[in-house]
Structure 1
Amino acid sequence: MDWSALLRMPMTVLLVLAAVFLLLTLVQLVVLRRHLHSGRRLAASWRALLCLLCCALALLLGGTGIALRGYRLLGEETPVVDIDARILSPQRWALTLSWPDGSTRQVQLSGDDWRVEAVVLKWKLPALLAGLPPLYRLDRLSGRYDDAAQEASAPRTVIDLGEASAFDLLNLSKQYPQWLPEVDTIYGSGAFLPLVDQGHYSISLMRTGALVARPDDATAQRIGSPLGG
């Protein structure tokens, strides 16, 4: 099975395919019942086998679609999100988050820096050899103060970026590790940079699982100036 192709399918496609196979399961059940009533046991056996196969595929596709909600494939260096910053008042910022798929989100943050964290899932060697790629999911965006004393007392901002559900891979691996025996490790990775007015930052994730943040040239110059502007 080409796991890479399966994991690249949008969740909606996987759920639609699951619904199709569920419908086929119901059709096979109706035909199976007719064969049993007519005494055609051999034909009924084949229909029972098809029914089980369609049901298994429906469960596999549906479970994969729900469990992979919010996860993305991890390539050599995968673009994760871009951040544009605009100052509102001292240590108060308006941020625009832009994802590679074109979606955006507006948030406000308190602090001197922004910090992005992600959850990375890696598989054991047999799954890797079978072509199952690592996965990641953005977890949260938070503000960070340069002064440790201020960090302990000043208002903090934490914004949830995850899309986890009851069937999330992270929750399943923690609560039912026997269901996902091929999961090697799940860990967090984070990166932060100073905030400057009109700053633009690009965040990507290396295949090693390291989250990398880069400012553009103009932003890097503002960060390097004494006043940050």
Structure 2
Amino acid sequence: MAVAPFLWILVPALVALLIGAGLFLGRGGPRDINGRKQFRLRPLRRLVGLLILALAMVSGLLGGSLYQFHRLTTDQPVASISLEQQGERQYLITCQLEGQPPRQFRVQGDQWQIDARVVRWQLPALLAGVPPLYRMDRLSGRYEDPVAEQSQPRTVYPLGDTRAPDLATLKRSFPTWLPFVDVQFGSGAYMPMFDGARYRVFLDPRGALFVRPDGQATTDGLKQRGW
């Protein structure tokens, strides 16, 4: 059974946390008259323990961020989309991510767009066959006409947990501590919105999003609109 990528980091981080805490807070020195060790912080041991604790904390943040990502090995279905028109350029989108309950969003525009963040590994993790990871990022509306895009209302909704640590921020803050992670990679796909349209969203093994119509009615609707 494959080990979840975040466990590769969280388990060593936990071990480092215990070692660092032991070095930083461990008791040492001579014993008192009752035979108990007197508490003494030796400067070198304290410094080493503090460095290990800092490494464990950064590793824990990275593991917590990777926990939201999913392994990407084949064409992976990641979401289903259905639309209900509410008014002119106004739609109610029901979006269901894989393994999650459906959510509804009110979106304005002519087209809907979904974006994902993809983690691609650098050497030597890439040579070791570590699969890419993905996390769905946001759902938004867009306009076919660039002029309308500049002047009309925009709607955008997060699909991931924005409270979790961000890998890009961690990599910028600790570039030498995260040598195998490349997060400067995103993918997006968009399709027309019309009443009753239904779509399936997929990610291929290289991290590219693509969309397929879900049903003949949507296929016919796309053909009528020149798609």
Same fold by TM (over 0.5)? yes
Q: Distance in 1 between matches of 2:174 and 2:153?
A: 37
Q: Give the equivalent residue in structure 2 for 1:221.
A: 220
Shift of 1:150: 1.3
Q: Give the equivalent residue in structure 2 for 1:171.
A: 169
Distance 1:165 1:69, change over 3 A: farther
Shift of 1:170: 2.0
Contact 1:70 / 1:164 at 8 angstroms: preserved in 2? no
Q: Distance in 2 between matches of 1:70 and 1:78?
A: 16
Give the 3-state SS of the residue equivalent to 1:207 in structure 2.
Answer: coil
TM-score (norm 2): 0.73
Of the structure 1 ranges 149-158 and 168-177, higher mean CA displacement relative to structure 2 is found in 168-177
Contact 1:66 / 1:168 at 8 angstroms: preserved in 2? no
| Residue correspondence of structure 1 range 174-189 to structure 2 within 5 A | 174-184=172-182, 186-189=184-187
CA RMSD, Structure 1 to Structure 2 (Å)? 3.7
Q: Deviations over 1:199-224 (max 9, x none)?
A: 11111111112111111232111122
Shift of 1:130: 2.8
Q: Give the equivalent residue in structure 2 for 1:83.
A: 81
Give the 3-state SS of the residue equivalent to 1:103 in structure 2.
Answer: coil
Q: How many residues align?
A: 208
Contact 1:140 / 1:160 at 8 angstroms: preserved in 2? yes
Q: Give the equivalent residue in structure 2 for 1:110.
A: 108
| More helix as a share of residues | 1
Q: Give the equivalent residue in structure 1 for 2:196.
A: 198
Distance 1:148 1:61, change over 3 A: closer
Q: Distance in 2 between matches of 1:64 and 1:148?
A: 38
Q: Deviations over 1:42-85 (max 9, x none)?
A: xxxxxxxxxx9xx89x8688445422243221222122111111
Give the 3-state SS of the residue equivalent to 1:178 in structure 2.
Answer: coil
Identify unmatched segments of 5+ residues in structure 1.
41-51
Distance 1:25 1:108, change over 3 A: same
Percent of residue pairs bearing the same amino acid type: 39
Contact 2:62 / 2:165 at 8 angstroms: preserved in 1? no
Q: Deviations over 1:18-65 (max 9, x none)?
A: 889979998x89xx759x85589xxxxxxxxxxx9xx89x86884454
TM-score (norm 1): 0.73
